[in-house]
Structure 1
Amino acid sequence: MARAKIGTSKYEAKTLKASGSQKLKYYCQICSKQCRDSNGFKNLLQSKSHLGRISNLQSSGESNSIVSSYSHKFQTDFLNLLLLVNHGTKSINANRFYQEYIRQLTQTDESGENGEMDSEGFNLETGLIDSQEIQRLKNKEDEEYLRANNEINDRLIQKQIKREQELEIK
């Protein structure tokens, strides 16, 4: 079979497939595993590792709490994302917004593998702020840092002047 030529859509599809960055259709939260198709997901559900995780959760009595925590986390994150994107007053296609939420979730999970997650596990804001907004926030932080640094330097200089004046008086 011939290889796909670089730059063709077939080549791009193969590279996406190889990297694991394909459209999310099947995902097991318990195993934290993404599957490309229904057959792969069915095989995952029947695998020993998955069944072992399920039985461990059921025997420890954590299954209900895990389901409720996933539901609560989804509800709060979904609503927070809805408010962050300023859709609170506008109508939006729920399915499209849900897909946006899932895309943001998978992007933050992927960035979390590189150690870029926040203390809550993921940060939905990172993918929603455009580059101009990020630059504005960085500039604002830099200005605040410089202002604070200048204030500290001014205080130190004032203290040195005071000491020098006290030494001249003595």
Structure 2
Amino acid sequence: MGKNDFLTPKAIANRIKAKGLQKLRWYCQMCQKQCRDENGFKCHCMSESHQRQMEVFGQNPHRIVEGYSEEFESLFMEHMKRSHRFSRVAATVVYNEYINDRHHVHMNSTQWATLTEFVKYLGKTGKCKVEETPKGWFITYIDRDSETIFKENLKNKRAKADIVDEEKQEREIRKQIERAEQLGGSLGDKSLENEEAKLLVRSDEGGEKKIKLSIGSLNKNVVKEKGEGSGSRFVFDDGVSVEKVGKDKGGKTGRGSALDELIKEEEKAKERSNRKDYWLCEGIVVKVMSKDLKDKGYYKQKGVVRKVIDKYVGEIEMVESKHKLRVDQEELETVIPQIGGVVRVVNGAYRGSNARLLSVDTDKFCAKVQIEKGIYDGRVIQAIEYEDICKVVQ
């Protein structure tokens, strides 16, 4: 058996040493060769293969160093993301874990001479949060993945929606207080007038009876007289006919105009309370308008909302392919059915109610619907925008 044969102790020791890490100063990055001692590194530098690599390096040294720097940075950040994504850790700990792979890109081939310089570079570029402590440099990975950014955007949307709701409530409370202050002075006078209008007056003279009544919200008094042998008739104090007294300048009765105003006030209050910046709900048919999904064949295709996630994201089941997607509401559009179809009011005063589509005004981009079921059963909404109604899956 020879001196350096395969199974000799010296050959086995050399193979064991070659498997582990050696000193960085005896490593040649251009040739990717690790030498075990200074003499071996000197012999390698004098070799013909190393000289050829150095000629290639001399032609464009900056480009090669930048390439090694980018590769070192990407591998380091990949290890940081995989092993210490949500923790604050010492930079030396991460670096020691990174160099465990003997085939890694060494730092002496990059633009950074020391680990401190590289850590400062990560802090300046905003890729990591860097802290200098008496125990050394500590770094924290800053997650910039699309999924994380998407979740942060959802949190920001929810926070903004909560702030908007609080501001709306405050404005509504202030308006109610102002309205109460304005009406506070006139409430006493109106109560007195109503009490006088409801007085019942009886007179025994001539066997006649007089009753004063009020019609609607008018201040006119009606006297009903009954005489012997005469028919019943209505006599007004001012001698004005019923039609003339009961109608205002616009031709509407006082009772009708007051009722219309009450309905308008009610709808305005419901509009303020039910108008939100999110409109997705389960069981409606929507159209996907995301151009990013155009290559996959989902652009302008219809789907059914099966689940709503965090108010702004819908789990969509495509009608044709039955594939399930998660799409933000900003990339979705409501669908209007044919005349007579069932829709759901997804935003506004009657939010959450089902209605029947009666007609469509394409010029004004609005529709006429009639509420079905519930406390507003039968109520007709004359002009509701396309964005506030959506087709219901049958």
Name the TM tier (shorter chain).
Answer: 0.3 to 0.5
Q: Which has the higher strand share?
A: 2
> Which of the two has greater helix per residue?
1
**Structure with the larger RCO, 1 or 2 (CA within 8 Å, 6+ apart):** 1
